Amino acid sequence: MDPTISRELSRLDPAVPFRATADHLHHTWARTFFSRPELYVRPQSIAEIQLLVTLARRCRRRLVTVGSGHSPSDLTCTSSWLVNLDDFNHLLHIDPESRSVTVEAGIRLSELGTKLEEQGLTLANLGSIDSQSIAGVIATGTHGSSMRHGLLSECIEALSLVLANGQLVRCSASNNPDLFRAALVSLGALGIVVEVTFKARPAFNIAWRQERYSLSRVLSEWSTGLWTSHEFVRVWWLPYEKGAIVWRADQTDQPLHAPPSNFYGEGVGYHIYHNLLALSSYFPRILPWVEWFVFGMQYGFRPGATVTEAVEPSRAGLLMNCLYSQFVNEWALPLNKGPEAILRLSAWLHGDLKTAGIPFSPKGLWVHCPIEVRVSDSSKNANPRPFLDPTCRDGPTLYLNATLYRPYLRDPPCRQRYYEAFEWLMRDMGARPHWAKNFNTLDATELHRLYKDDMDGWLRVRQEVDPEGMFLGEWHCRNLPLVAPADHNDWLPLAERESQRRKLDISGAGDGLEWIGDRRWQSESASGPFFANGQRTSELPSDPSAPSPPMTATSEESFDLLAKGEASILLQGA
């Protein structure tokens, strides 16, 4: 146990618990990345979160907040302190008239759904799953598929954050609007979001219908009702079959009825597809046949042959089974460019380089199915847009998501070349990547070019609220143009850089990588006092508005647990 932590904690309020464990192994849902934080902290109150931030600042540690870890990139990896708000997840207030709801930010969408349902309310829109935390969904610009909705965060009315100086701030369209726009897609880089206020919708059921289309029908109806005939529409493109599964849903008053049970799809089909995907890692050329067989068995072998329908509560019916571990590479582009994007990618996958216009060879490359095709439209939303909203400002947005499964957690052989070509096409079409996903070929300069003034606006707010980079890591340094201001010679002293990434040799890790940070505080503490911007930390002007917990002594006993590296909860003074 680093004595600095014991010392600094002993100066903070012993009545406020610091719930930290020392041997947590973090991994993303897809087990694409693992990391071993020095401390894993699960606060239960705002006072605990403020104490944690103050302690981290004094100990010169980076803080990463993780929700449910569903972002598949290294965004949530750290060797420093990982904060999780799963125990800070209560519903705080509902105004029945305005349907304005305030929750603690760690609540998962599934728990929130249950609690809202008891009050006759629900979320207006959902993505494919509801396992994420509400703060995580907001932070990366999570979306569903509907022309009548934008990002899931468009229902957000206000957010409260604990900033790097320990201060609790609230922001909304009218109060601190720039902070609000920055916090709506924060990438975890502004502070810890602690409370979320949003507008709920009266609970509703949806009647959904799913059927197989030919790709040519999808494209011919693209601008004549494919996306507008129903409130919710999503398309799974089967690239080798030149077909698609079209799923559409509308609010309904019809009585509930479950989808027909499907022995193949719910049980057997799941395992068959998994094993065929695993086999395809050795024999990739079977993938067109796998697509034909698996999707034929599930959705019928011919367009229109099988139609599946159901009526379900929206909070269940909008979700889908995402199957297995996966890489996801999703980009947002103007909806009217969709047919061109799909035809070019389709041509490339079928070896027609002239039509594709993509300067990479698809020879010997076979990919997984489906490619998700979804939409959103933020252009009519009255709320301020997040600075880092990837959707189109002036019209509807198409999302194309190139999913690659990782059967039994093993990386598929085609990933690098497929994603290189896919990302090249997306960039050629002026698309912007979904922040949470596995994009790889863009750098900070290009992302800046894609966001221009909005990126500058976000960077300015970020720099104001976290000048030392307490909430920044390698992912941010790689993807955001975090340029040191001219008057700073030692900028971002707390930002954590990656020092190594390596294969993890433990069972259950598959091809997942262990991400290791620079642990720069070790060399800093070894060499004595901490420096930031050329000043001793102890000489830094303290923030007068920060409600620093009072300095008091604490029980040294608690630290012994950490020193031994035990997975114990520290209840300081509790």
Residue 193 binds: one of ligand LLU7NYM2, ligand FAD, none (C-beta under 5 to 8 A by kind): ligand FAD
Euclidean distance between CA atoms 171 and 165, whole angstroms:
16
- CA angle, 481 as apex, 33 and 157 as ends, to 5°? 80
Q: Which of 164, 152, 154, 163 is nearest to 127 (CA)?
A: 152
Q: Where are the alpha helices (DSSP H) in 100-236?
A: 109-118, 134-140, 177-184, 215-220
Q: From the CB of 151, what's the least distance to ligand FAD, in Å?
A: 8
State which of residues 6, 29, 45, 409 lies at the interface with ligand FAD (CB under 6 A).
29
Nearest to 298 by CA among 263, 258, 274: 263
Q: According to the binding rule CB under 6 A, does residue 57 interact with ligand FAD? A: no
Q: Which of 4, 100, 119, 128 binds ligand FAD (CB under 6 A)?
A: 128
280: CB partners within 8 A, 6+ apart: 286, 287, 290, 366, 407, 412
Q: Which is nearer to ligand LLU7NYM2, 128 or 214 (CB)?
A: 128
Partner from ligand FAD, ligand LLU7NYM2, none contacting 377, C-beta within 5 to 8 A by type:
none
* Using rule CB under 6 A, residue 128 touches ligand LLU7NYM2: yes
**φ and ψ of 509, to 5 deg:** -95, -20
Give yes or no for a contact between 503 and 514, defined as CB atoms under 8 angstroms apart. Answer: yes
How far apart (Å, rounded) are the C-alpha atoms in residues 173 and 184?
11
* Pick 68 or 326: Cβ nearer ligand LLU7NYM2: 326
Instruction: Choose the contact partner of 401 out of ligand FAD, ligand LLU7NYM2, none; CB within 5 to 8 A by kind.
Output: ligand LLU7NYM2
Binding-site member from 47, 91, 279, 322 for ligand LLU7NYM2 (CB under 6 A): 322
- Binding string, residues 189-218; x marks residues near ligand FAD by CB under 6 A: ---xx-------------------------
Q: Determine contact, residues 52/13, Cβ cutoff 8 Å.
A: no
Residue 124 burial (C-beta neighbours within 10 Å; 0-12, 13-18, 19+): buried
- In angstroms, give the least distance from the CB of 334 to ligand FAD: 18
| Cα(472)–Cα(75) distance, integer angstroms | 10
Choose between 73 and 548: whose C-beta lies nearer to ligand LLU7NYM2: 73
Task: Show the tokens assigned to 388.
Answer: 């880092």
By C-beta, is 180 or 530 nearer to ligand FAD?
A: 180
C-beta closer to ligand FAD: residue 124 or 135: 135
Residue 74 or residue 496: which is nearer to ligand LLU7NYM2 going by CB? 74
Closest distance of CB 366 from ligand FAD, Å: 23
- Is residue 123 at the binding interface for ligand FAD, with CB under 6 A as the rule? no
> 183-207 b/e with 16+ CB inside 10 Å = b?
bbbbbbbbbbbbbbbbbbeebbbbb
Our finding on whether 32 is near ligand FAD (CB under 6 A) is no
Residue of 444, 435, 449, 454 lying closest to 481 (CA atoms)? 444
Closest CA to 143 of 330, 382, 371: 330
Tokens representing residue 91 in the block: 């519903």
Residue 192: contacted member of ligand LLU7NYM2, ligand FAD, none (CB under 5 to 8 Å, by partner type): ligand FAD
Which of the choices ligand LLU7NYM2, ligand FAD, none does residue 71 contact, using the CB cut-off of 5 to 8 A by kind? ligand FAD
Q: How many CB atoms lie within 10 A of CB 318?
A: 25
| 329 touching ligand LLU7NYM2, by CB under 6 A | no
Alpha-carbon Rg for the chain, nearest whole angstrom, is: 24
Minimum distance of ligand LLU7NYM2 from residue 25's CB (angstroms): 22
Q: Find the residue with minimal CB distance to ligand LLU7NYM2.
A: 128
Rule CB under 6 A: choose which of 68, 79, 325, 326 binds ligand LLU7NYM2: 326
Q: Read off the tokens for 392.
A: 């189109």
Question: Is the Cβ–Cβ distance between 7 and 564 less than 8 Å?
Answer: no
Confirm or reject binding of residue 124 to ligand FAD (CB under 6 A): no
Cα(508)–Cα(95) distance, rounded to whole angstroms?
Answer: 45
At position 266, the amino acid (one-letter code) is E
Check binding of 102 to ligand LLU7NYM2 (CB under 6 A).
no
Q: 85 vs 219, which CB is nearer to ligand FAD?
A: 85
**Beta carbon of residue 93, minimum distance to ligand FAD (angstroms, whole number):** 18
Out of 372, 389, 498, 518, the only residue in the binding site for ligand LLU7NYM2 (CB under 6 A) is: 372
Alpha helices in 404-451 (DSSP H): 415-428, 444-451
Phi, psi of 350 (to 5 degrees): -95, 10
Q: 406 or 476: whose CB is closer to ligand LLU7NYM2? A: 406
Among 79, 122, 176, 401, binds ligand LLU7NYM2 (CB under 6 A): 401
Residue whose CB is less far from ligand LLU7NYM2, 322 or 561: 322
* Closest CA relative to residue 33, chosen from 414, 479, 365, 474: 474
Q: Which range in 98-106, 321-329, 425-433, 543-551 contacts ligand LLU7NYM2 by CB under 6 A?
A: 321-329
Residue 322 found at the interface with ligand FAD (CB under 6 A): yes
Name which of residues 63 to 122 contact ligand FAD (CB under 6 A).
Answer: 64-72, 75-76, 85, 105
- Amino acid code (one letter) for 25: L
**Residue 57 binds which entry of ligand FAD, ligand LLU7NYM2, none, with Cβ cut-offs from 5 to 8 Å by kind?**
none
Q: Tell me how far apart the alpha carbons of residues 34 and 136 are, in angstroms, rounded to a whole number.
A: 18
Q: Provide the binding-site residues for ligand LLU7NYM2, judged by CB under 6 A.
A: 127-128, 322, 326, 328, 372, 401, 403
Residues contributing to the site for ligand FAD (CB under 6 A):
29-30, 64-72, 75-76, 85, 105, 127-129, 132-133, 135-137, 139-140, 142-143, 186-188, 192-193, 322, 434, 436
